[in-house]
Structure formats: C-alpha cells, structure tokens
C-alpha cells in the first residue's frame, strides 16, 4: 500500500490520508517546503524536523546543473547530501519549460536547455529525468511534463497536453526497467507521479488524466496552475477536474500555496502542496499571521515589543519581538530572514496540523467557515 484514505468528510471532498514512502509515512493534507537546490532557504533541516515537517521538495533540473547528480550520488544520495531524514519529492523540470522558456527548445524527445550558469547544453528526456531522480534517491519521482504558459492558444495547449502524455508513457517504461512491472513484497520503492496538464480547459484536463490513469502511476499532480492565470480560474479548473480523478490516489497541486488557497483546495480533495511563498515572503520581510500578512520592515514595527504572532510557539515568536526583527531587516542581518522563514514555515505546518485534526474530529466544516471569514491573501 502506498496511499491510504483514513477519513472523508461528508459534504466536502476533504480527506485525511497517509502516504507510505521509503523514508517514512507522510500524513495528508501535507505542505512541502521548497528546497529547490537541496536546501530550504535560510532554515536548518533540524528546525524543519523539530517543527514536524515530513517531506520537502527539491528540483532535479537545478541539481543536474549544480552540483551534478554524480556528486550527490557519490555523497550517498540526496538525503545524506542535504542532511534530511524525511521524505523528498523531486520535481522533474517541467516547470522550467515555462519559467526558463528563453533558455530552452522543446523537442519530440525532450527539452534542450542552455544552462543559465555557464551556457552549456542540457537535454532533459523523460527517461533521463527518471534515471536522475532514482539516482538521487527521491521518495516521490515526478514524470517530465510540458508546462505551457498562460494564456496559450488552444492548439498549443493540446500539443503540450499530448506531449505530456507521450513523455509520461516514455518515463513509465524507463521506470519499469528499474523496478519492474510488479511491486515486490516489502520493497522500499519510491512512488511515481504523473502530471496532469491542459491549461484551464476542462476537457483537456480530463483527457490528460484519463490517459495517465491508463499508463499507471502511484499518484497524480495537477500542474500548470501557477503560471499567471487568475486564481479563480485555477480553482475552477481544480474543482472541475477532481471529481474525475480516482479518489484512491493521492492528488497534488503544484506551486499554489497561499494559506486560504490551500484550505480551499483541501476542501476540493487535494492532498499535497508546495510553494515558495513562506520563505520568499520572509526574504522580503513579511510574516504570516491568522489576520493577514505583517510587513515587518514598515516603520510602525520599530518599537513594537510584541512577538510576530502571540498565538505561535515557534522559536522566533518565543524569543524575539517585532521591533528586534524590524531592526535586523533594516540592518540587512541574515538572522532576520532566518527567523521569519522559521516562523512562516511553522505557520504553514501548524495550519496543516489544524486541518488534519479538524477532519479527523469531524469539525472540517466549522474550520472552513472560520477561515472563510479571514481569507488571508496578498
């Protein structure tokens, strides 16, 4: 068993689940801090562990460029290299097709990138991406996909969707060469996820999922919904797609991660999330609290003796004041960013725990109503 649904909510698609990975069980709904280059920025792994983080995300494209898969493999794998004992999901590099479009050329066999580091040429294929993630020792391996920009012409969306399906099939065939077609009793195989593309077109999304289901994956991600489209369109797309997705599989929305967005997506039946926002906002001097976002560089915090959040028990809130963190930020001291990163990730982790508890206790609707009245946004 790789995923188990523990409890479902009547009147909602929200559910409590558990993923089984080579590096331990992961309770869902789960938020994964982003550690693109084998590190969650400005946060020690020990602090992530202490806060209850069960899985982080890394990116195979960036790790191929630097330091290189072979170096990590010789160091004992990605877990040992980055000092992380929990589970790791590795993104395949499909998002970089969108975000680094000026550096890449899409080919039938994969994507050729020009390295933004040294200008060298890098070809990512569905097969090489699977090989690299297995060599890294990832717990969840992502299939290579074509992530189109928004807006795109319908013919381009169709082409990207069909290419994603084709690459998924090629990647699955390579996967089977590593692991075979049957699971071995007691084996600690990683999980393989397919990525559903199709823009905001309901029919394309459904077609993509149906084809991926036929190919066979351990879970499914919904990609391409944080590429510039309005939030309302993203949520409508997820709402239209999830009823067609087999509920026995884990579902993962890639790259969307404001707290209120996550709560809405949990209500739509999504299990896994990742986003750079907690640490990115920290680097810009901002902190999440239930009432909204505090911009601690603002002058009004210069003499504020309160903690970032009186309801939070993280190290930053227990030990330091808003005034001190304001001082650190104005002085461009790295500790300010570290404390805010720690707090923001603690905020997210606490939110996920509260959601799991409310689902388990049969209080999800009450939790949803309470947060609907807050609607934390930018």
d(CA 192, CA 220): 9
My answer on whether 352 and 206 are in the same domain is: no
**pLDDT for the residue 187:** 52
Cα 328 to Cα 40, 175, 286, 297, 318: the distances in Å are 20, 48, 13, 9, 17
pLDDT tens digits for 215-229?
Answer: 999 999 999 998 999
**pLDDT for the residue 184:** 52
Q: How many Cβ atoms from other residues are within 10 Å of residue 314's Cβ? A: 22
pLDDT tens digits for 163-176?
Answer: 999 999 999 999 99
Tell me which of 240, 274, 308 is where a domain ends: 274
186 is in an annotated binding site: no
Average pLDDT taken over every residue of the chain: 95
My answer on whether 245 and 311 are in the same domain is: no
**pLDDT for the residue 376:** 61
91 is in an annotated binding site: yes
With a cut of 70, say whether residue 151 has pLDDT above it: yes
94 is in an annotated binding site: yes
CATH of the domain at 161: 3.20.20.105
My answer on whether 290 and 263 are in the same domain is: no
146 is in an annotated binding site: no
My answer on whether 54 and 75 are in the same domain is: yes
52 is in an annotated binding site: no
Q: Domain range for residue 351?
A: 282-370
My answer on whether 139 and 193 are in the same domain is: yes
My answer on whether 261 and 326 are in the same domain is: no
249 in a structural domain: yes
375 in a structural domain: no
My answer on whether 268 and 343 are in the same domain is: no
Tell me which of 224, 244, 274 is where a domain ends: 274
Average pLDDT over residues 107-131: 95
With a cut of 60, say whether residue 126 has pLDDT above it: yes
95 is in an annotated binding site: yes
312 is in an annotated binding site: yes
My answer on whether 193 and 292 are in the same domain is: no
377 in a structural domain: no
Sign of the torsion angle spanned by Cα atoms 20, 24, 29, 35: negative
My answer on whether 330 and 223 are in the same domain is: no
Name the band, by pLDDT with cuts 50, 70 and 90, for residue 180. confident
Give 179-226 as a DSSP string. H-SSPPTT--PPEEEEEE--TT-HHHHHHHHHHHHHH--SEEEE-S-S
Cβ-proximal residues to 314 (8 Å cutoff; 6+ apart), any chain: 51, 342, 343, 346, 347
197 is in an annotated binding site: yes
**pLDDT for the residue 378:** 44
Average pLDDT over residues 279-285: 98
376 in a structural domain: no
With a cut of 70, say whether residue 185 has pLDDT above it: no
Domain count, the chain: 2
My answer on whether 266 and 292 are in the same domain is: no
* Residues acting as catalytic residues: 91, 274
Which one, of 178, 166, 177, 69, lies nearest residue 110 by Cα?
Answer: 166
The pLDDT > 70 percentage for the chain reads: 97
My answer on whether 174 and 302 are in the same domain is: no
343 is in an annotated binding site: yes
pLDDT tens digits for 255-273?
Answer: 999 999 999 999 999 999 9
The token pair at 123 is 């070809």
My answer on whether 222 and 333 are in the same domain is: no
Tell me which of 211, 243, 274 is where a domain ends: 274
């Amino acid at each position: 068993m790789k995923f188990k649904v523990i409890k479902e909510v009547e009147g909602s698609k929200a559910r409590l689940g558990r993923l089984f990975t080579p590096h331990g069980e992961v309770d869902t709904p789960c938020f994964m801090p982003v550690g693109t280059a084998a590190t969650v920025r400005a946060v020690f792994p020990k602090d992530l562990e202490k806060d209850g983080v069960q899985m982080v995300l890394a990116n195979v494209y960036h790790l191929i460029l630097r330091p290189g898969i072979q170096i990590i493999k010789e160091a004992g794998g990605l877990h040992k290299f980055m000092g992380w004992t929990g589970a790791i999901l590795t993104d395949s590099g499909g998002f970089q097709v969108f975000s680094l479009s000026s550096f890449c050329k899409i080919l039938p066999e994969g994507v050729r990138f020009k390295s933004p580091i040294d200008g060298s040429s890098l070809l990512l294929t569905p097969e090489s991406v699977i090989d690299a993630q297995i060599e890294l020792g990832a717990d969840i391996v992502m299939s290579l996909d074509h992530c189109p920009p928004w807006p795109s012409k319908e013919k381009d969306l169709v082409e990207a969707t069909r290419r994603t399906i084709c690459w998924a099939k090629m990647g699955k065939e390579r996967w089977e060469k590593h692991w075979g077609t049957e699971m071995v009793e007691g084996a600690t195989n990683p999980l393989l996820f397919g990525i559903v593309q199709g823009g905001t077109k309901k029919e394309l999304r459904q077609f993509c999922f149906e084809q991926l289901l036929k190919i066979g994956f351990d879970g499914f991600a919904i990609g391409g919904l944080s590429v510039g489209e309005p939030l309302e369109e993203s949520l409508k797309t997820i709402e239209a797609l999830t009823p067609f997705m087999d509920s026995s599989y884990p579902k993962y929305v890639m790259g969307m991660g404001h707290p209120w967005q996550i709560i809405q997506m949990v209500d739509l039946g999504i299990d896994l999330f990742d986003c750079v926002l907690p640490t990115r906002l920290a680097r810009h001097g901002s902190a999440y609290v239930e009432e909204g976002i505090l911009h601690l560089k603002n002058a009004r915090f210069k003499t504020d003796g309160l903690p970032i959040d009186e309801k939070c028990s993280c190290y930053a809130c227990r030990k330091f004041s808003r005034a001190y963190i304001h001082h650190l930020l104005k002085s461009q001291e790295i500790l300010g960013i570290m404390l805010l990163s720690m707090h923001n990730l603690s905020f997210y982790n606490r939110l996920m725990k509260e959601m799991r508890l409310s689902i388990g206790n049969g209080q999800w609707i009450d939790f949803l109503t309470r947060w609907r009245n807050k609607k934390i946004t930018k």
